Structure 1
Amino acid sequence: MKQTALTHIHRSLGAKMVPFAGFEMPVQYEGLIAEHHAVRQAVGVFDVSHMGEFLIQGPEALDLVQSLTTNDASKLYPGKVQYSCMTNDQGGIVDDLLVYMLAENSYMLVVNASNIEKDFLWIQSRNIYDAQLTDVSDQTSLLAVQGPKATEALQTLTDVQLGTMGYYTFVKGRMADVDDVIISATGYTGAGGFELYVPNQAAEHLWRAVLEAGQAYGIKPCGLGARDTLRLEKAFCLYGNDIDDTTNPIEAGLGWITKFTKTFTASEIIRQIKEKGPSRRLVGFEMIDRGIPRQHYSIHDAEGHSIGHVTSGTQSPTLGKAIGLGYVPISHSAPGTEIFIDIRGRHLRARVVKTPFL
């Protein structure tokens, strides 16, 4: 089991540790609900150093990125970030990821922890360009400082004017006396905030400095449990749940990051799906009857026929109701449509709703 540079700190804080994507990770400290509310209302800090980071550098770095990803990376400039995904030969999703343009001919891809090895081999096998691929995941730590008070809390640690940074931009700057921190206005919570990339040896110092700076703002260390409920309220896809090798970007609601102004792996297949319309869609739903939907639960129509499955579900701490995501046929995908979730053998009523939930 791999550990992050902060595992010993999580244990000392009394975190409940669980295996996740080959890492020993904190699922919660004080408790999921308290951590969730801290991020929505104030500020929380997550250790997400299990995420993967690859560098793509060289004269044809952009060509490689463009051939692999669905979004148009030619629109990037140094200091800009883009959400994207990589597709396989059938049009399924290899992974969703962030693309950072560090400088001309220099990019950083941030990939899901569970896919680091798979993604690296995939990119390597497709690299017919004058571009070098380097996996720096094991040397890189990542802290996510999220919430409406994240900017104020972090501003005490840096001269970088955080309040003027646009969403999905980044700078390299000094923070808490650590040089060359990638300070990125991104996150997986929908609560605002920053993600901070540092070498492993600086991670503990930065973590302690962030917690100290955030004390006046009610900061809490947060685990993967709250990270999941926060992202689900915003209907952000989780790889392995809502998207995988068998789901295409169009049915998954990722058409907005799929650009046909260029060719990428299976772009023609995906273009045809877009033109014809997908046969199913990933939708959000809220429970009408009492019950919490979970991944793999089956979805049924009014006649009792199985029509799809739940990909993610939880009790939303902010909304105080049970919500979920799942794939259903187009005929059942309109907001307001009543569907039924099989929870322990009982078909409980739910309603398709617009996303994000919050």
Structure 2
Amino acid sequence: MTNTTARQTPLHEIHSELGASFTDFAGWSMPVRYSSELAEHRAVRETAGQFDLSHMAEIELTGPQAADALDYAMVGALSKVAVGRARYTMLCDADGGVLDDLVVYRTGEARYLVVANAGNAAVVAGELRDRARGFDVEVADRSAEVALIAVQGPNSAAIVAEATGAELSGLRYYASMPATVAGDEVLLARTGYTGEDGFELFLPAGAAVRVWRRLAEAGAAHGLMPAGLACRDTLRLEAGMPLYGNELGTGLTPFHANLGRLVKLDKPGDFVGRGALEKADPDRVLVGLRGHGRRAPRHGYRLLYDNREVGEITSGALSPTLGHPIAMAYVPPEYAEPGTALSADIRGRGEPVEVVSLPFYRRPSTSKG
């Protein structure tokens, strides 16, 4: 049963028109699929998919010390990000545990846009306000004012170029630029969460319907399909991208998730979690698993070695692209070597799985970004 108190994005009526099935996600009513998640998944891998991501949180920091405040608040060196570029980073607590993984865009010399997961919106906004105290910076939660639409897949550049009239060949991965769609100004970023080339468009909430329709019109000749949360999850899993609440959480540091590269211990000054992260010595690490049967291990399933539990599945599915089960799990370092044979307890039966390198899928090298 759908929660009638769930928030709706500015595109809710569009999704209803398109016949979407909805699910409650982080307090939002979100389209989980329109036709079939398999068709939507394949569209993103082969042509393009269009996503409503307006449930994500957008928090803006402006002021002379915006860069200094973010360097203190987060594990990355955000002051080193050039205007027009973006960086994937993390907000950690004093113990080094991950409060959220984020993308931070530098949109001006003294202006940043922090994009947080929907379920962590209040935590991130609150922490940024607290950590910005003492700095000459203003922290403003713009989430209610901003809609976010993504176009992902091999044909995304052609679609977005037609919809915006912009020259995109010089727009690098993790870069952004101002653009116009259907007369509305957008921040156009070459970012995504699918493992494909793609774009994310930040725009005023009131322009969401116009921009969605214009993108759909531009994509009609390029195989563009509306795509929901279900295929977004299998796409990000194939790409080996962590999901907060599965692979990331307060009981885990970036080093647990093999993302220690995000922690810039060489940046000057203190930052929240520095002391704990300097001493981080993970007792378990994130690995990829390939299944050799047809049944996919799912979140929470036990992982075994010689009938002894050694870990737990964090995410798992039958890969639509690869045609076999894939999963991610945390295991002690001695079981993390690719080629290690383990088994997943799937409803009381041990199914063979093998540790493999992440990601499971890489887009063809001919794709941009």
Instruction: Please report the TM-score for the alignment, with normalisation by the length of structure 2.
Output: 0.94
Alignment of 1:234-253 (within 5 A): 234-253=239-258
Alpha-carbon distance between aligned partners in 1 of 2:72 and 2:160, rounded to the nearest angstrom? 37
Alpha-carbon distance between aligned partners in 1 of 2:277 and 2:286, rounded to the nearest angstrom? 16
CA deviation string 1:180-228 (max 9, x = no partner): x100000000110100000011100010111110000111000000100
CA deviation string 1:73-126 (max 9, x = no partner): 122111000000011011100100001111111111000000001111122222
Q: Does 1:216 align with 2:221?
A: yes
The residue type equivalent to 1:201 in the other structure is G
Q: 1:291 aligns with which of 290, 295, 303?
A: 295
Q: State the shift of 1:136 in Å.
A: 0.4
Q: In percent, how many aligned pairs have the same letter?
A: 39
Greater displacement, 215-224 / 119-128 = 119-128
The answer as to whether partners of 1:290 and 1:348 remain within 8 angstroms in 2 is: no
Alpha-carbon distance between aligned partners in 1 of 2:193 and 2:33, rounded to the nearest angstrom? 17
SS in 1 for 2:164: coil
Q: Does 1:93 align with 2:98?
A: yes
SS in 1 for 2:83: coil
Alpha-carbon distance between aligned partners in 2 of 1:187 and 1:290, rounded to the nearest angstrom? 29
Q: State the shift of 1:37 in Å.
A: 0.5
Alpha-carbon distance between aligned partners in 2 of 1:159 and 1:284, rounded to the nearest angstrom? 40
Number of the residue aligned with 2:158: 152
The residue type equivalent to 1:199 in the other structure is P
Number of the residue aligned with 2:50: 45
Number of the residue aligned with 2:312: 309
The answer as to whether partners of 2:100 and 2:120 remain within 8 angstroms in 1 is: yes
Number of the residue aligned with 1:17: 22
Number of the residue aligned with 1:33: 38
Instruction: Give the count of matched residue pairs.
Output: 353
Alignment of 1:138-177 (within 5 A): 138-177=144-183
Gaps of 5+ in 1: none
SS in 1 for 2:7: coil
CA deviation string 1:145-201 (max 9, x = no partner): 00010011111122321122100000012123212x100000000110100000011
Q: 1:349 aligns with which of 344, 348, 352?
A: 352
SS in 1 for 2:129: helix
Number of the residue aligned with 2:122: 117
SS in 2 for 1:311: strand
Q: State the shift of 1:268 in Å.
A: 2.3
Q: State the shift of 1:34 in Å.
A: 0.3
Structure 1 runs, 4 residues or longer, greater than 4 Å off: none
Alignment of 1:181-192 (within 5 A): 181-192=186-197
Q: State the shift of 1:66 in Å.
A: 0.4
Q: 1:272 aligns with which of 273, 279, 282?
A: 279
Q: State the shift of 1:38 in Å.
A: 0.3
Q: Does 1:339 align with 2:346?
A: no
The answer as to whether partners of 2:73 and 2:132 remain within 8 angstroms in 1 is: no
Alpha-carbon distance between aligned partners in 1 of 2:15 and 2:352, rounded to the nearest angstrom? 40
CA deviation string 1:36-62 (max 9, x = no partner): 000001111000100000001112111
Q: 1:54 aligns with which of 56, 59, 64?
A: 59
Gaps of 5+ in 2: 1-5, 362-369
The answer as to whether partners of 1:51 and 1:110 remain within 8 angstroms in 2 is: yes
The residue type equivalent to 1:105 in the other structure is A
Number of the residue aligned with 2:184: 178
The residue type equivalent to 1:271 in the other structure is E
Alpha-carbon distance between aligned partners in 2 of 1:130 and 1:219, rounded to the nearest angstrom? 44
The answer as to whether partners of 2:293 and 2:325 remain within 8 angstroms in 1 is: no
Number of the residue aligned with 2:324: 321
The residue type equivalent to 2:332 in the other structure is P
Alpha-carbon distance between aligned partners in 2 of 1:307 and 1:57, rounded to the nearest angstrom? 46
The answer as to whether partners of 2:70 and 2:79 remain within 8 angstroms in 1 is: no
Number of the residue aligned with 1:130: 136
